Amino acid sequence: MKKVITYGTFDLLHYGHILLFQRAKALGDHLTVALSTDDFNSIKQKAAYFSYEKRKMMLESIKYIDEVIPEQCWEQKKQDIVELSIDLFVMGDDWKGKFDELRDFCEVVYLERTPDISTTSIKTNLQQN
């Protein structure tokens, strides 16, 4: 079984997220999503609209996702890959090159982002209206 993992806040869930999960799952048999906790978002100086518990509940309802785990710090990626026997680490291409050191532990793939949609653009549009 080929295991895939991705990480993120996944706030204001949108079709770009769904396409990312669909494409990540197509690369393997099992998709784990490490979801940033509220405390970790605070460390990143990032505010999510929905709480960790609500974001987790939404992600768990998506058919492409097999497991949701908490992301509590930047450094946990290597540990997750080893402990969960991950074969493939997937992130959006806006992170290209940022996680190449993980290639010592698994394959690393940066997927192209869905054009014209992002949580940031949704938040900006909502503030303007």
Which residues are identified as catalytic? 44, 46
Terminal-to-terminal C-alpha distance of the chain: 47
CB 96 within 8 A of CB 72: no
Beta bridge mates, 109 = 90
Token pair for 79? 């540990």
Token pair for 33? 């999503």
Cα 45 to Cα 2, 33, 53, distances in angstroms: 34, 21, 19
Token pair for 106? 């698994």
